[in-house]
Structure 1
Amino acid sequence: MAVAASLVAGSPLLVAAVIEEPILAVVYAITLGVSVWLFRDARRRRRSVVVAVGWAVGGLILPGIVHFGYLYGRMKSTTPAEPPADDETERGNDR
């Protein structure tokens, strides 16, 4: 219980770790950003929400393995990403 309480945002232990090792904040921010991208890319490729969340959470827990594993699987995937919506098709070609 004491360990969980010391990891709460704003706790002196967490603040001290970020102040003493600011590179940790940068590494965690990059890891979080890549995991968010994993989630969004998996959803764009029509994966279920559960699978997309699994990739994102896995990317937070084991980033080196999961991020590269996702990219490797993405290269071998035959399911293309959904093409971006074109403004002309959304308006119905009102020219």
Structure 2
Amino acid sequence: MGEEKDKKYRNLILGLVFDGIGMLSFIIPGVGEFSDVIWAPIAGWLMTRMYKGRVGQAAGLITFTEELIPGLDIIPTFTLTWIYTYLLTKKKNND
């Protein structure tokens, strides 16, 4: 049980950091959109490593797309996936 709780909070912290990295492109005008081309595949891959199965695959694709499209970097996909995985689906399974 403790290991699952550690993974839960590790994923939250990593997700917040990765969402922050994704939002950095807003700080550096011009360079930011170029950095998204590099960050998008990395972010998509990281998402599939953090969340296994269909959730990870879907979230990886969404993250990749969100990072590539200008202006959508503000969406915290890592944090939203964490909320879905650890709060919404756990709650639904407990009902």
TM-score by length of 1: 0.34
From the CA coordinates, give the structure whose radius of gyration is larger: 1
Higher helix share: 2
TM-score by length of 2: 0.34
